[in-house]
Amino acid sequence: MKIFFSRKNASIIAGLVTLSLLGACGNNEDTAPEETTTAWDEIQEKGSLTVATSGTLFPTSYREEGSDELTGFEVEVAREIGERLELEVEFTELGFDEMLTSVQTGQVDIAANDIEITEDRKDNFLFSTPFKYSYGTAIVRSDDLSGIETLEDLKGKKAAGASTSVYMETAREYGAEEVVYDNATNETYLRDVAIGRTDVILNDYYLQTLAIAAFPELDITIHPNLKYSPSEVGVVMNEDNTELAENVDRVIEEMLEDGTIAEISAEFFNGADVTEKVEIEE
């Protein structure tokens, strides 16, 4: 059987083919994937950076007596980061353990509170380029060093601090009984050691030195022989926020290069430059 096509039929078929092709093109445009908005895009859009800090850790994050203004070494470093990224900085005051949870859940962009960089934490978070180097020490009672000569003597002693800090991990490792506070001030920690409610505070050398100097009336001291765990500190970010981390690293490296962080360090650590790496014999 033969089928004959007139010019009219041919025109109709050609029109249908054209419509079909145009329709296909239109469908492709409709189904094209939308651009993904990143956390860094959202931060830029709102024009601000949310930073978790304690507000109770002298001289990292605190308020001077009689002032409502939050300040401290890492508070001012965070402010400078924001300025160089052309972002306002909004601080949220949280306990140490809450900070890391808030970073993980995206409630804050950054945590800045003398948080040590460890391999375990790097499995779950992004850390900035380090800008503070130190080591661990122990605050004990002056008269008997709280009965502690070596780290092995921590067994059975009451060690005060944040549950998830690397220093409390050290205390647990050596058998100490942990005493955890809910975002308490330095004075509370120190007085409890002095009166025997607790025995020891394991923490960073620079923080411990300044804390003791702030309360000379208390019968406490830094243990003369305990030096351990060289440490590096940076700000903490969600592991998925790679663009934020890249931009934070860029400005921190600028600040290290031009001496800005060293100047901030001198202001809060009695002239010491915490950006310099330290060597200790373990």
Q: Which residue is listed with tokens 């690397």?
A: 166
Superfamily of domain 133-230: Periplasmic binding protein-like II (3.40.190.10)
Task: 45-50: list long-range contacts, CB under 8 Å, 24+ apart.
Answer: 47/87, 47/88, 48/82, 48/87, 48/88, 48/89, 48/90, 49/78, 49/81, 49/82, 49/85, 49/87, 49/88, 49/89, 49/90, 49/109, 49/110, 50/90, 50/91, 50/92, 50/107, 50/108, 50/109, 50/110
CA within 13 Å, CB half, 125:
25
pLDDT of residue 282: 55
Whether the Cβ atoms of residue 57 and residue 114 lie closer than 8 Å to each other: yes
175, with CB counted inside 10 A (0-12, 13-18, 19+), is: middle
Task: Kindly indicate whether the domain formed by 39-131+234-268 is annotated with CATH number 3.40.190.10.
Answer: yes
pTM: 0.75
Q: Which two tokens stand for residue 203?
A: 């923490």
pLDDT tens per residue, the chain (282 residues)? 444 444 444 444 444 444 344 444 445 555 555 668 888 999 999 999 999 999 998 899 999 888 999 999 999 999 999 999 999 999 999 998 899 999 999 999 999 999 999 999 999 999 999 999 999 999 999 999 999 999 999 999 999 998 888 899 999 999 999 999 877 888 999 999 999 999 999 999 998 999 899 899 999 999 999 999 899 999 999 999 999 999 999 999 999 999 999 999 999 999 999 999 887 765
Whether the Cβ atoms of residue 237 and residue 128 lie closer than 8 Å to each other: yes
pLDDT of residue 181: 85
Cis preceding-peptide flag for 59 (omega within 30 of 0):
yes
DSSP of 137-195: EEEEETTTGGG-SSGGGGTT-EEEE-TTSHHHHHHHHTTPEEEE-SS--HHHHHHHHHT
Domain ranges of the chain: 39-131+234-268, 133-230
* 39-131+234-268 and 133-230 agree in CATH topology: yes
